[in-house]
Structure 1
Amino acid sequence: MRRPADLFDREWEWETLTAFATDPSPGATLGVVSGRRRQGKSFLLQELCAASGGFYFAATEATEAESLRAFGRELAQQLRLAVPLALTSWEQALDAVLGLGVDTPIVVVLDEFPYLCKAAPSLPSTVQRALGPRRGERLGSRTRLVLCGSALSFMGRLLSGSAPLRGRSGLDLTVATFDPRLAADFWGITDWDLALRVHAVVGGTPAYRREFVRDDSPAGAGDFDAWVCRAVLNPASPLFKEARYLLAEEADLRDLALYHSVLAAVAAGRTVRGGIANYIGRRDDTLRHPLTVLEDAGFLTRSADPFRPARSSYRIAEPLLTFYHSVMRPEWSRLERPGRAAEVWRDAQERFRSQVLGPHFETICRWWTGQHADPATFGGQPARVSSGVVNDPAGRGKYEVDVVATDSSGRLLVLGEAKYGETTGVGHLERLRRIRGLLAGRESLRAAEARLACFSATGFTDELRRVEQNGEVVLVDLARIYTGH
C-alpha cells in the first residue's frame, strides 16, 4: 500500500497499520490506536482508509442516538446507498461493519472512541460480544476494526485488567511524539543547541509546527527569543493556552487546580512525593491518586531510583507543560496583556535555564544513553536508564546522579553528569569518581567496572579532553547526541 507523500517519518506506524488492515486471515479482528492529541493519529488512519478503500468515522461529543444517526449516514455513503441506514443500536452498527468484510479484508476506524463510550458506556462490552470467538458474524468477516482515541487513561484501560476487550485485540499501537532527533529534522533545525531549546519548549508534537504556528520555525539561534515571544507567549497563538487545554481534554482529571499544582511542583524541581506534597500544601498520603492519574494520562513519568528502589521520582512527560508551569503560569496575568511577551521572557530567563533547559538536557542525555549509545561506548547494552541519589555517610550528604544505566542483569554500566550551561571539567569527573567509590561495596552493581560519562551542551575543558584520551571518561556533546552513537 502506497505511503502518503506528505507523511513525515512514521514508517513503522504506517507499515504496522497496513499489515493489520490487509491481513487476509479469516475472521474479523480488533485493533487499538492511541496517543496524545495532535500526533497525527487521525491523519494516519484517514490516509489508511483512503488508500485501502476502508471506512473512517470520526465521532463527536453527542448523544448515542445522534452518533448512531451520523454513523448510519456515513456508512450509507460508503456503500453508495440512496438513503441513510436507520441504526437504533450499536449492535446493529457493528454487525453492519462486520458485513463490510465478508468478501475481502477492509479496515473500519472508529476515531474518538472515548466520545462514543461517554454516551454509551457499555460500548466496549458490545464490541466484545460482536467479536465473540465463535460468533458466526465474526467468523464470516475479515473486517479490521480499529478503535482510536486520545484520552490515554481511557484507552489504556480498554485492554487492561478485567476490561471487556482484554485479550481481544490483535493490534495495540501507540503513536508517540517525535523524539529529539526526529523533531529537529521535522522543524528543519541543524543547529543542535537551537534544536534542544526548541524541543525544551514544544517537544515533538507535529501539529505544533504545522497547524499551531503555521510553519514558523526559528530562522537561527539569534531568532529563538523572538520566536518564543511570537509563537508561544503571544496571546493570539494557539500554543498560548495549549498546556491548559491538554489537561482539560482528559476526562479523568476532574480537579484541574490540583493537577496543575502537582505539575507546577514537579516543574519547580520537587520530583519526589514528599517534596510535591510540601509544595502544594497537601499530606503525602493524599497524592497517590492524583499522581497515578497524571501518570496514566501520560503527563508524568515515574522511575525508581536504581540505588534506592523504594524511592520513585516523577518528571513531566510533555515539554510544553514544563515550559508553561515554569515560565508562563507564574506570569499569566502579564502575558494576557498584548505586547508584554518580550518583557516577561526577559524576566523568566533564569527560570527557563534552571527549570526547563537544565532538566530537559538531562532527560535527553538519558534518552541518548538508552536509545543511541553504542554498546561498546559503555561496555554493554543499557536495559534501564534513570537518575539516582547516592548517600555519602562520611560526608553526611548525598550526590544526585543525572544518568545511571544498568544492563539486564543489574550491573552498573555508567554514571553520568549532565551540564547544560557550563563548561565541563575535571572537577565534574572527580565527583563521578567519588560516587563510584561510594558504590563499591554493592556487589550486585559491580560499580568498579562502571564507565564515567560527562555530558555537556557547552563543551569540555582541554584537561578533561586529555583525560578522555586515556579512556577514563566518555565525553558526549550535543553533536554526538543528535547525530552519533
Structure 2
Amino acid sequence: MFDREWEWEQLSRFVANESRGATLGVVSGRRRQGKTFLLEAVCEETGGFYYAATEAVPRAEALRQLGEAVSAFAGTPGRVRFENWEEAIDGLLFLGAERTVPVVLDEFPYLVRDAKDLPSVIQKALSPRREQRGMSRSRLLLCGSSISFMGGLLSGQAPLRGRAGLELVVPTFNFRQAAEFWGLAAEPRLAALVYFVVGGTPAYRTEYLAGIAPAGLADFDRWVVEYVLNPASPLFREVRFLLAEDPALRDTGLYHTVLAAVAEGNATRSGIAGRIERKAVDISHHLTVLEDAGLLVADPDAFRRNRSEYRITEPLVRFYHSIMRPYWAQLERVRQGRTERIWHTAQPRFRSNVAGPVYERMCRVWCEDFASEETLGDMAGSVQSGVVHDVATRTGHEVDVAVRGPDSVLLAIGEAKWGDIVGLGHLERLERVAALLAARGEAPGRLLLFSGVGFMPALQEAAARSDGRVQLVGLERLYTGS
C-alpha cells in the first residue's frame, strides 16, 4: 500500500467499531484510484465479506450471484437464495450477528441500475429501532466510481441521507505523491512531464504500464510514443473508456467535444459554446454532468465575482483531447515512424495546452498544500487564478496564482512559466498588477514567480534584496520545499 494511510485509518476505525447496531459507509472516487484495493485489503485483514457487482445484470441474476457469494462466505450447505433485495440486505446484516464484520458491495451503481429502489431498501433496513439492525454488527460499505451517483446517495432528499457513519472519497495523488509513486522524486523535471501526461492515478503505473517509467529525460519521448500513443497500450483508449463507463454520460460524443473545447483553451461557458457552435444554454446540462462526474471543475475567478472558468481535472483527459484525438485515425493505423512524427509535430500544443495549464495548477496546489506561512505571509485560505482589469488601458492581466488568507485578505499573486527562464520582465509585470490591486485596496504582500526552467541572475539578485517579498519557486522547491 502506498500513501493511503489516512484512508486506511478511516476504514479501519469504521470496521473495528465493536458496538451493536449495523452501520453504513460510502466509499467513492474516480476509477483506478485504489478503492477496490483498500476494501479487499480491509476484508482480508478482518475476515470480511467482499462482493463486486457485475455490469448490466438483471435484478434476478444479481440476487442469485450475491446469494452464491454469501453462501460461499458463510460456508452454508447448498445455495443461499434471495427472492428480493429486502431479503438480501437482511442476509448481509445477518453476517454480523456474531461478530463485527465489514460487508462490502463494490460497484454499487451496477446493482442500482436494475434496482432503483435499492437505496430505499437499505434505508428501511437500517432504521434505528429495527431489530435486524440492532442485533447486527455488519459494517455495510457501498463503493462506486460514478462520482455523480455516489455523491447523490447522501445528498439532499436522498433516502440514505443521514444514515452513513463514513463518507470516504479516495482522491488521486497530487504531483508530489505521484513523483514518489513513479520512483521519480529525484528527477523533478521528468516527474512533472510524466504527471502532465498521466496525472496522479496509481493504476496507470501498476496495472496499465506494469511499473514502466521513463529511464530519464532523454527517454521521455520514447516512453510517450511506446506506452501512451501506442494503440496496443491500455492507456491509448483509457479516456474513451472513462466516459463510456460513467452511466451519467449517455451521449459521449458531445461530452468529448465539450472536453476538447476546454482543452483547446476555451474556459468560459460562452467560449465553449462558440467553439462547438451551440448556444450556451444548450450545453449547460453537459457541463453540469461533466462536473458531477469529476472531469470538469468550475474555478471561480479570484478578482471577479460571479465569473468562473472551466478546468479539466484529469491530465490524461487533457492530453488525450489536445494530442491524441486530433490524430486518432493516424495513430490507430500504425505506420513506421508516423507516431514519432505526430508526437514531434504536437510539441507546441503539448507545451501550451497540456504542460502550461497543468503546471499552473501544480503551482496553485503547492501554495495551498505545501507553501509555508513565512513564504506566503500567512496560511493560505484559498488559491485561485483570475484576471485583473486595468480600466485606464482597457486591458486584462491574467494572474496564474492568487493566494488569499482565511480572512480573504490577498496575500500573494504569482506567475507560472513552465518553458521560460523567468527574469526581471516577469517581475515588472507582476509589480504592475500589484499596483493595480493596491489602488483597489488589495495590495498583495508577496510576489511569487514559478519556473520550470530557471531564473535570470538579475531576478535572483532582486529576490534576495526583497526581504522575502519576491519568492522564486523552481522545480526543486516545488517538489521538496515550502
What TM-score, normalized to structure 2? 0.97
Q: Is 1:249 paired with 2:245? A: yes
Match of 1:32 among 26, 39, 44: 26
- 1:333 is displaced (CA, Å) by 1.0
Equivalent residues of 1:272, 1:312 under 8 A apart = yes
1:107 corresponds to which letter in structure 2?
P
- In the TM superposition, residue 436 of structure 1 has moved relative to its aligned partner by 1.1
The 5 A counterparts of 1:32-431 are 32-61=26-55, 62-189=57-184, 190-339=186-335, 340-431=338-429
CA contact (8 A) 2:229 2:236 kept: yes
SS of 2:454 mapped into structure 1: coil
Residue in 2 that maps onto 1:480: 477
Deviation of 1:449 after TM superposition, in Å, equals 4.3
Q: Deviations over 1:41-98 (max 9, x none)?
A: 1111011101101100110021111111111111111111121101111111111111
1:25 shift after superposition? 2.1
Q: What stretches of structure 2 of length at least 5 have no aligned partner?
A: none
Q: Is the 8 A contact 1:31 1:144 kept in 2?
A: yes
- The count of corresponding residues between Structure 1 and Structure 2 is 476
* Greater displacement, 287-296 / 193-202: 287-296
Deviations 1:88-144 (A, max 9, x none): 111111111111212221100000000000010110000000001111111111110
Q: Who is 1:4 aligned against?
A: none
Runs of 4 or more, structure 1, over 3 Å off, are none
Q: Which one-letter code corresponds to 1:35 in the other structure?
A: G
Aligned mates of 2:440, 2:406 — CA distance in 1: 17
Partner SS state of residue 197, structure 1? helix
2:64–2:82 CA contact under 8 A, matched in 1: yes
2:375 is aligned with what amino acid? T
Query: Secondary structure of the equivalent of 1:38?
Result: coil
Distance 1:29 1:272 in 2: 43
Instruction: Measure, in 2, the Cα distance between the counterparts of 1:96 and 1:213.
Output: 40
Partners of 1:84 and 1:17 in 2: how far apart?
30
Task: Say whether residues 1:20 and 2:10 are aligned partners.
Answer: no
Q: Is the contact between residue 46 and residue 101 of structure 2 (CA under 8 Å) also seen in structure 1? A: yes
2:384–2:403: 8 Å Cα contact kept in structure 1?
Answer: yes
Measured in 2, the distance between the counterparts of 1:364 and 1:312 equals 19
Q: Secondary structure at the match of 1:167?
A: coil
Paired residues of 2:413 and 2:444 also in contact (CA < 8 A): no
Which residue identity does 2:292 align to in structure 1? D
Q: Aligned with 1:235: secondary structure?
A: coil
**Cα root mean square deviation, aligned:** 1.0
> 1:57·1:111 contact (CA, 8 Å) conserved in 2?
yes
Report the alpha carbon displacement of residue 316 of structure 1 after superposing the two structures with TM. 0.3
CA deviation after TM superposition for structure 1 residue 388, in Å: 0.3
Q: Distance in 2 between matches of 1:441 and 1:128?
A: 56
Amino acid at match of 1:49: C
- Give the superposition deviation at 1:256: 1.2
Cα separation, 1, equivalents of 2:290 and 2:440: 34
Distance 1:174 1:313 in 2: 24
1: CA distance, partners of 2:439 / 2:152: 43
Identity, in percent, stands at: 54
Structure 2 Cα separation of the partners of residues 285 and 388 of structure 1: 24
The equivalent of 1:464 in structure 2 is 459
Determine whether 1:452 maps to 2:452: no
Alignment-derived partner of residue 3 in structure 1: none
Residue 437 of structure 1 corresponds to which residue in structure 2?
Answer: 435
Whether the 8 Å CA contact 1:74–1:84 is kept in 2: the answer is no
CA displacement at 1:254 relative to structure 2: 1.3
Shift of 1:242: 0.4
Q: Distance in 2 between matches of 1:402 and 1:287?
A: 27
Distance in 2 (alpha carbons) for counterparts of 1:375 and 1:28: 44
Deviations 1:374-401 (Å, cap 9, x if unpaired)? 0111111111111000101112210000
Cα contact 2:400–2:416 (8 A) shared by 1 = yes
Gapped regions of structure 1 (runs ≥ 5): 1-6
Amino acid at match of 2:237: K
1:192: how far off? 0.6
Q: Distance in 2 between matches of 1:208 and 1:457?
A: 24
Q: CA deviation at 1:257?
A: 1.5
TM-score by length of 1: 0.97
CA deviations 1:262-290 (Å, max 9, x no partner) are 11111111111111111111112222211
SS at match of 1:129: helix
Query: How far apart are residue 442 of structure 1 and its match?
Result: 3.0
For 1:139 and 1:112, the matched residues in 2 are separated by 26
Once the 2 structures are TM-superposed, how far is the Cα of residue 464 of structure 1 from its aligned partner? 0.6
The letter of the residue matching 1:40 is G
